[in-house]
Amino acid sequence: MRQSSVISRRVAAAAVSLVLATGAAACAGPEDTGAKGGASAGKGAAGGPQKGGTLTVLNSEAQTDFDPARLYTSGGGNVPSLVFRTLTTRNREAGAAGSKVVPDLATDLGRPNKDATEWTYTLKEGLKFEDGTPITSADVKYGIERSFAAELSGGAPYLRDWLVGGDTYEGPYKDKKGLASVVTPDDRTIVFKLKKPEGEFPFVATQTQFAPVPRAKDTGAKYEEHPVSSGPYKVVKNENDGERLVLERNEHWDPKTDEERKAYPDRIDVKAGLDEAVINQRLATSSRSDAAAVTTDTNLGPAELAQIGSDKALAARVGTGRFGFTNYIAFNPKVKPFDNPKVRQAISYAVNRTSVVNAAGGSALAEPATTFLPEQKSFGFTPYDHFPAGKTGDPEKAKALLKEAGFPNGLTVTLLHSTAQNRTTSPEIATAVQEALGKAGITVKLDGQEPNSFNEKRWSVKDAPGFFLSRWGADWPAGGPFLAPIFDGRQIVTNGSNYNHAQLNDPAVNKEIDEINKLTDLQAAAVRWGALDKKIGAQALDVPLFHPVYKRLVGKDIKNVVISDWTGVLDISQVSVK
Amino acid sequence: MTRYVLKRLAGAALVLLALSVLVYALFYLAPGDPARLACGERCNPRQIAQVREQLGLNEGVFAQYAHFLQGVFVGRDYSTGTSVVRCDAPCLGLSYQSDQQVTQLVLERLPATASLALGALVVWLVVGVGTGLLSALRRGGPTERILTVLTLAATGTPVFILGLLLLMVVCAYLQWLPFPTYVPLGENPEQWAWNMLLPWLTLGLFESAKYARLTRSSTLETLAEDHIRTFRAYGVGERAVVTRHALRGAVPPVVAVSAVDLGYMFGGAVLTESLFGIPGLGKTLLDGVREIDLPVVVGVVMVMGVAVVLAGVVADLLYAAADRRVVLT
Amino acid sequence: MTAPTDTSAPVAGIPATGAARQLLRRLRGRPAAVVSAGVLLLLVLLALAAPLFAALEGQDPYAYHDDLVDSARGGVPYGSFGGVSADHWLGVEPGTGRDLFARLLHGARVSLLVAVGATAVQVLIGVLVGLAAGLGSRWADGILSRITDVLVALPMLVLAIALTAVVPRDFPRPLLLILVIGLLGWAGTSRIVRAQTLTLKSLDFVAASRLAGSGRWRTARRELLPALAAPVITYAAISVPTNMVVEAALSFLGVGVTPPTPSWGQMLSTAQTWFRADPAYVLLPAGLLFVTVLAFTVLGDAVRTALDPREASRLRVGTRKETSR
């Protein structure tokens, strides 16, 4: 019932929140090693994982979207990935290894042409839908095409932005000719033609839009009531718009074609629409069917963490992980006084990250950030702290900078934030910022807006205020989706949702982004994303505040908890209950 | 009598009309663009425009309202992309966010809400009236004081705390009951009752102080009347006086207020439904408001309107039945 | 075995000031009423002088104390009873370390103001509409009763969100809350007043007044208002704490007071999950709310019985807006 869960339906407050709501995956374990950038993995209950049993999933958000076209996921989601296989998928391993992309329906990660503008995939042999019909490249193409239909909007923007003709194609319901830039020379081959080089294309091919959809079974907006499975489970019950979901084994799924999904339980019973506090209480109590329960959308909050503190048995059932996510203060330099770099720097110095981290739930749930990129290697994390504020802020330095900027008596500014109780853009964080800036002579007035209007304001080029809380999450664990939408001048969207809050349009930055996108060597690309982040950071276009840490409980009978650096939360395809 | 009911039903139609106009007006004022929200957060302007068109949001607010009325009286057709679906009258439209027909959605959610409301009614009647009677019987004594304090404590504690407290004690700490999950009555009546027990208690206890006070004061009023003094003078026992005669005075107001409260519960028990994960109208309303889903909000408000008006009629009828001096016009 | 209260003088006929004096005299004889009134006075005093008392403690309600909370354990206060110390008499808030004593006192201002203000709006509108419905023509009665139905069925949350978005940011939020809760919560009062008016209308003294040539409104003012005082005051007494709980519910749903301003409702809504890790954080605002509920109810009862048990118990319709459930 908390507002943090407002994200439901097609709505997402941030790309990432949707990802988590619809179920990102990862595996968690019983011990928390606290390793940075890594995830602790534990065995959970004793003994090796066995097949069988029913896994209960206790969620706060209903799976209101269960159409592969409309899901916005990082790496295919958690529950959705049990039903939808995609060309590629995330590596279902703990920690850093889990941020790798691996083949799924396809035999490899895709074969690029020389300049990475054309990607060719070959489907594995023996792939079948839940009704036993073989999966062909035409089904994958159709799945992609229907994600362009207005009736099925909601997915990530990459196909529209990258595919040749993607910006004008209106989907198969209106345009019977199909999308010419997706070619299927034979039943097992599919070729994608892109507008420009995209070295990270294999990551995009993990999203549910790359799941096959048989044209004959397509029922448009009603498809989500019973999507046709290509994965280890099929939908046998979908009630109350995704509040109750029962999945059972898909007999036509051949484990020999799928190295990633373990699919131990025979049955998955998703019960959603529950209060978050109740979910955590149920997992902690672990009575009856709750002993074999997990959640794919509810984190432990600070109060629950404090309560678990002294209970070793309970603490052993907490999985910890990190998902690429940054919470920050955004500036709009088009608005005075934030056009003045000295004012932005002063604020950077004044911020007290200890208070902010405490507001976000304390050091176990948030880590102070001075870089825009998350602290995982796959993003190309390169440490920097251009405006060292120390642990609790440097109000004196801030005052001196304000004086230089022409505000010797301090100034008054308004901070836009949301009223959602999500501990990211919420009143708690805003008041922590307000309190710290007050010590540097900056009076902060708070403008708390209901989540939808908050988002519309901060995403508007026209109406965006000068100073607001924002956040960004990774669509896949690499620098590209993290930096490009925020700092690429050509991604300033004047008439829709704009994420380049600083409206930075620097030819040098744009050019470097293009250069890195040409690289198909992802490690080389990561290094350059890191360097670019450090360079942009010097302009004080934002104040990174913290990276969240996800802690989630599992029921006492849950085994094989795997948490990757990709999703930061347990991967439901690996869990066993026996 | 028939004339009275017909008149009230005509009034109900007006109430529903006014409610729908009000909700449309409020949404016109409220922030947020449903098309943008429905489209998803990384939609480009062209897609948003398409979704807006599809949801019929391009039209002026009056045209939208006219379409709503049209749906209610003659039904509407909708496209799912692959086929056209008929939404028969009374069609409350299609949810902006989930593509479900609102009439259907509201009907699906009605049983859960009705379960909660009726059970809570029983709890507040038993606990509230019982407490009220006892405290009238033992007025001034320690029993009265303790009962008063207990019912007031439940009333003075917000439902989101009272309910969670009950859950923690009964399900987590004592483990007397499993954590509730809603089971439809038709599926398994026994499970239905066990799973609804805590929600009933939470909502019922929260309401019971009001009924305790109502019962107590009505009972005391009756006790002060002359014929009761006569009974006492004749040596009728205090317990008999209270239960046989004075309680009669408490029946009409308790029934009247109960009917009204029952009406509110159809869409009004937002916090209780959310806390216990009951797929009812209150929770649907909350989601609808947060997701700027106008058709869903209008749909739930319509049901609430009907429930409130019907409850009012029932209360008046019962009141008239109990007190012959009241003439229904 | 006698009737519990004095039923001698019918209040209806007594002029207003006389009734007030009589009321006060009767209340003074009831210890429970005196104690309740004392508690409420004390609360009001504490609220009014909140900055003074906070200064006495040496704290202000907005200052963060990061060093007083255990960041590694979700920000739970160090020490026992939620971090009680010589500096922080009632401990500190988890996560921020803000002083709870100061926040509770400052919170009392908002909570009492909103609850009493909203009740005043409810009583004002409720009495006017109820009187108009009761005294007016059948048509007026029908229309006003339907309007009441409409407002009863209109979800408060919808109105609150719409209004908080439309009303300028600088508009004081407590006033907005008063208006929202007040404008949607008068149905109960108006129903009581209407029912009471309908009954009284047929009684001799009112009819006599009309016969003597008094106009409708003059009759309402001179004869009806005093008679309505008992049920309305009683109902209002129950409404004040009820409105406090409504404010808590609105805070819980994100449309309460603007941070960092504290209110009991805001504190309760953030405290929801803390009652095992830091019980004091929940018990303090909940306890204060409970004391207020108790004091208002006892005082309300006392006023009712002091006015006239018969009249008072016509209090039949209790309404609480759905948001608080």
Distances (CA, A) of A256 to A137, A307, B24, B254: 19, 44, 56, 68
pLDDT in tens, A245-267: 999 999 999 999 999 999 999 99
Chain A, window 444-463: residues with a beta carbon less than 8 angstroms from a chain B beta carbon:
449-453, 455-456, 459
Give the whole-angstrom CA distance, residue A488 versus residue A481: 11
Confidence of residue B262 (pLDDT cuts 50, 70, 90): confident
pLDDT value at residue A352: 96
Q: What is the CATH number of the domain that holds A106?
A: 3.40.190.10
Strands (E), A1-123: 42-44, 54-58, 88-90, 101-103, 111-112, 118-122
pLDDT value at residue C202: 66
Is there a domain that residue C4 lies in?
Answer: no
Q: Give A330's strand partners.
A: A468, A542
Distances (CA, A) of A187 to A140, A183, A191, A192: 10, 11, 12, 15
Torsion (CA) C32, C36, C39, C43 in degrees, nearest 10: 180
**pLDDT at A132 > cutoff 60:** yes
Averaged confidence pLDDT in chain C: 79
With CB atoms and an 8 Å threshold, state whether B23 touches C248.
Answer: no
Comparison of pLDDT for B324 and A464, the residue scoring more: A464
Mean pLDDT of the A172-184 span: 93
Is there a domain that residue A508 lies in?
Answer: yes
Of A532, A23, A31, A538, nearest to A272 by C-alpha is A23
**pLDDT at C233 > cutoff 90:** no
Give the whole-angstrom CA distance, residue C91 versus residue A491: 49
Q: 3-state DSSP call for residue A326?
A: strand
Which of the residue ranges A13-27, A511-525, C147-161 would you say has the lowest mean pLDDT?
A13-27
Q: Give the H or E element holding residue A467.
A: strand A467-473
What percent of chain A has pLDDT above 70? 92
**pLDDT at C318 > cutoff 90:** no
What percent of chain B has pLDDT above 70? 91
With CB atoms and an 8 Å threshold, state whether A448 touches C259.
Answer: yes
Is there a domain that residue A320 lies in?
Answer: no
pLDDT value at residue C17: 62
**pLDDT at A142 > cutoff 60:** yes
Q: 3-state DSSP call for residue B41?
A: coil
Distances (CA, A) of B255 to A99, B68, B250: 63, 36, 9
Give the whole-angstrom CA distance, residue B250 versus residue A194: 78
**pLDDT at A16 > cutoff 50:** no
pLDDT in tens, A539-555: 999 999 999 999 999 99
**pLDDT at A329 > cutoff 50:** yes
Convert A240-268 into a string of H (helix), E (strand) and C (coil): CCCCEEEEEECCCCCHHHCCCCCCCCCEE
Mean pLDDT of the A91-120 span: 95
> Could you tell me if A372 and A469 lie in one domain?
yes
**pLDDT at B40 > cutoff 90:** no
**pLDDT at A574 > cutoff 70:** yes
> Could you tell me if A257 and A338 lie in one domain?
no
Q: Which residues of A157-185 are buried (b: 16+ CB within 10 A; e: fewer)?
A: bbbbbbbbebeebebbbeeeebbebbbbe
The subunits that touch chain A, with at least 3 C-beta pairs less than 8 Å apart, are B, C
pLDDT value at residue A20: 38
Confidence of residue C204 (pLDDT cuts 50, 70, 90): low
The secondary structure of residue B148, as a DSSP letter, is H
CA nearest to C312 within chain B: B217
Looking up tokens 């409260």 gives B261
pLDDT in tens, B272-307: 998 898 999 998 998 888 888 999 999 999 998 888
- For residue C155, give the nearest of B257, B267, B272 by CB distance: B267
With CB atoms and an 8 Å threshold, state whether A450 touches C165.
Answer: yes
Q: 3-state DSSP call for residue A50?
A: coil
Give the whole-angstrom CA distance, residue C181 versus residue C154: 12
| Residue-wise DSSP of C237-279 | HHHHHHHHHHHHHHHHTT-SSPTT---HHHHHHHHGGGGTT-H
Convert A124-168 into a string of H (helix), E (strand) and C (coil): CCCCECCCCCECCHHHHHHHHHHCCCHHHCCCCCHHHHHECCCCC
> Could you tell me if A179 and A132 lie in one domain?
yes
Residue A561 in tokens: 């908890």
Which of the residue ranges A244-248, A286-290, B97-101, B218-222 would you say has the lowest mean pLDDT?
B218-222
With CB atoms and an 8 Å threshold, state whether A241 touches B105.
Answer: yes
Residue C104 in tokens: 């509770």
Q: Give A190's strand partners.
A: A121
With CB atoms and an 8 Å threshold, state whether B268 touches C252.
Answer: no
pLDDT in tens, A335-372: 989 999 999 999 999 999 999 999 999 999 999 999 99
Partners of C159 on chain A (C-beta within 8 Å) are none
pLDDT in tens, A44-59: 455 688 999 999 999 9
Is there a domain that residue A49 lies in?
Answer: no
The subunits that touch chain C, with at least 3 C-beta pairs less than 8 Å apart, are A, B
Q: What is the CATH number of the domain that holds A388?
A: 3.10.105.10
CA nearest to A449 within chain C: C165
**pLDDT at A516 > cutoff 50:** yes
Give the whole-angstrom CA distance, residue C161 versus residue C183: 14
Confidence of residue C184 (pLDDT cuts 50, 70, 90): confident
pLDDT value at residue A264: 96
Mutate to test the interface with A, among C60, C65, C71, C177 (most CBs of A within 10 A): C71
Confidence of residue B252 (pLDDT cuts 50, 70, 90): low
> Could you tell me if A210 and A338 lie in one domain?
no
pLDDT in tens, B202-220: 999 988 887 887 787 777 7
Confidence of residue A198 (pLDDT cuts 50, 70, 90): very high
Averaged confidence pLDDT in chain A: 89
Domains of chain B plus CATH, in order, are 1-102 (no CATH), 104-322 (1.10.3720.10)
Q: What is the distance in angstroms between the Cα of B88 and the nearest Cα belonging to chain C?
A: 25
Is the separation of the CB atoms in A58 and A550 below 8 Å? no
* Total domains in the fold of chain A: 2
> Could you tell me if A379 and A400 lie in one domain?
yes
- Note every long-range contact of B169-175, with CB atoms under 8 Å and residues 24 or more positions apart, other chains counting: B170/B198, B171/A281, B171/A282, B171/A285, B171/A287, B171/B198, B172/A281, B172/A284, B172/A285, B175/A285, B175/A287
Residue C228 CB burial class (10 angstroms; 0-12, 13-18, ≥19): buried
Which of the residue ranges A130-139, A227-236, C228-237 would you say has the lowest mean pLDDT?
C228-237
pLDDT in tens, B104-131: 999 999 999 999 999 999 998 999 888 8
Is the separation of the CB atoms in C32 and C296 below 8 Å? no
Q: 3-state DSSP call for residue C39?
A: helix
Single-letter code of the amino acid located at A398: A
pLDDT value at residue A46: 56
Residue B327 CB burial class (10 angstroms; 0-12, 13-18, ≥19): exposed
Is there a domain that residue A110 lies in?
Answer: yes
**pLDDT at B140 > cutoff 60:** yes
- For residue B23, give the nearest of C158, C166, C275 by CB distance: C158
Confidence of residue A39 (pLDDT cuts 50, 70, 90): very low
Comparison of pLDDT for C76 and B246, the residue scoring more: C76
With CB atoms and an 8 Å threshold, state whether C165 touches B156.
Answer: no
Q: Which domain holds residue C242?
A: 9-324
Q: What is the CATH number of the domain that holds C221?
A: 1.10.3720.10
Is there a domain that residue C311 lies in?
Answer: yes
Q: Which residues of A520-534 are buried (b: 16+ CB within 10 A; e: fewer)?
A: bebeebbbbbbebbb
- For residue A450, give the nearest of C94, C97, C164 by CB distance: C164
Q: What is the distance in angstroms between the Cα of C294 and the nearest Cα belonging to chain B?
A: 7
**pLDDT at C320 > cutoff 50:** no
H helix runs in C93-186, sequence order: 100-135, 138-153, 156-166, 173-184
Comparison of pLDDT for A333 and C256, the residue scoring more: A333
Partners of B220 on chain C (C-beta within 8 Å) are 4-5, 309, 313
Torsion (CA) B261, B266, B270, B273 in degrees, nearest 10: 110
Distances (CA, A) of B193 to A240, B181, B206: 20, 11, 19
pLDDT in tens, C265-315: 889 888 888 888 898 998 899 889 888 888 888 888 787 777 764 443 333
Chain C, window 93-152: residues with a beta carbon less than 8 angstroms from a chain B beta carbon:
138, 142, 145-147, 149-150, 152
> Could you tell me if A538 and A565 lie in one domain?
no
With CB atoms and an 8 Å threshold, state whether B257 touches C316.
Answer: yes
Number of helices (H), then strands (E), in chain B:
15, 2
Comparison of pLDDT for C275 and A275, the residue scoring more: A275
Q: What is the distance in angstroms between the Cα of A247 and the nearest Cα belonging to chain B?
A: 18
Is the separation of the CB atoms in A282 and A109 below 8 Å? no
Is there a domain that residue C3 lies in?
Answer: no
With CB atoms and an 8 Å threshold, state whether B223 touches C293.
Answer: no
With CB atoms and an 8 Å threshold, state whether A275 touches B274.
Answer: yes
Residue A272 CB burial class (10 angstroms; 0-12, 13-18, ≥19): buried
With CB atoms and an 8 Å threshold, state whether A303 touches C94.
Answer: yes
Comparison of pLDDT for B236 and B40, the residue scoring more: B40
Cis? peptide before A337, omega within 30° of 0: yes
Residue A549 in tokens: 């840490």
> Could you tell me if A472 and A405 lie in one domain?
yes
pLDDT value at residue A258: 95
> Could you tell me if A454 and A521 lie in one domain?
yes
Mutate to test the interface with C, among B7, B211, B220 (most CBs of C within 10 A): B220
Mean pLDDT of the C157-186 span: 84
**pLDDT at A24 > cutoff 60:** no
**pLDDT at C207 > cutoff 90:** no
Is there a domain that residue A5 lies in?
Answer: no
Q: What is the distance in angstroms between the Cα of A552 and the nearest Cα belonging to chain C?
A: 14
Averaged confidence pLDDT in chain B: 84
With CB atoms and an 8 Å threshold, state whether B29 touches C162.
Answer: yes
**Dihedrals phi, psi of A361, to nearest 5 degrees:** 120, 5
Q: Give B86's strand partners.
A: B77
Partners of C163 on chain B (C-beta within 8 Å) are 29
> Could you tell me if A433 and A479 lie in one domain?
yes
pLDDT value at residue A3: 30
pLDDT in tens, C53-104: 988 888 889 999 999 999 999 999 998 888 898 889 999 999 999 999 999 9
With CB atoms and an 8 Å threshold, state whether B279 touches A278.
Answer: no
Q: Give the H or E element holding residue A546.
A: strand A542-548
Q: Give the H or E element holding residue B253.
A: helix B247-268
Is there a domain that residue A172 lies in?
Answer: yes
Is there a domain that residue C201 lies in?
Answer: yes
pLDDT value at residue C3: 35
CA nearest to B37 within chain A: A11
Q: Which domain holds residue A160?
A: 54-267+557-571
Give the whole-angstrom CA distance, residue A212 versus residue C55: 68
> Could you tell me if A341 and A249 lie in one domain?
no
pLDDT in tens, A370-403: 999 999 999 999 999 999 999 999 999 999 999 9
> Could you tell me if A566 and A540 lie in one domain?
no
CA within 13 Å, CB half, A568 = 32
- For residue A496, give the nearest of B43, B50, B271 by CB distance: B43
With CB atoms and an 8 Å threshold, state whether B275 touches A278.
Answer: yes
pLDDT in tens, B66-95: 989 999 899 888 887 788 888 888 899 889
Residue A568 in tokens: 């930061």
Q: Which residues of C212-225 are buried (b: 16+ CB within 10 A; e: fewer)?
A: eebeeeebbeebbb
**Dihedrals phi, psi of A139, to nearest 5 degrees:** -70, -35
With CB atoms and an 8 Å threshold, state whether A305 touches C74.
Answer: yes
Is the separation of the CB atoms in B75 and B88 below 8 Å? yes
pLDDT value at residue B208: 85
Residue A434 in tokens: 């307000």
Residue A226 CB burial class (10 angstroms; 0-12, 13-18, ≥19): middle
pLDDT value at residue C16: 52
Single-letter code of the amino acid located at A183: V
Give the whole-angstrom CA distance, residue C152 versus residue C129: 14
* Total domains in the fold of chain C: 1
How many residues are present in chain A?
A: 578
> Could you tell me if A360 and A221 lie in one domain?
no
pLDDT value at residue C163: 80
**pLDDT at A425 > cutoff 60:** yes
pLDDT value at residue C8: 35
**pLDDT at C321 > cutoff 50:** no
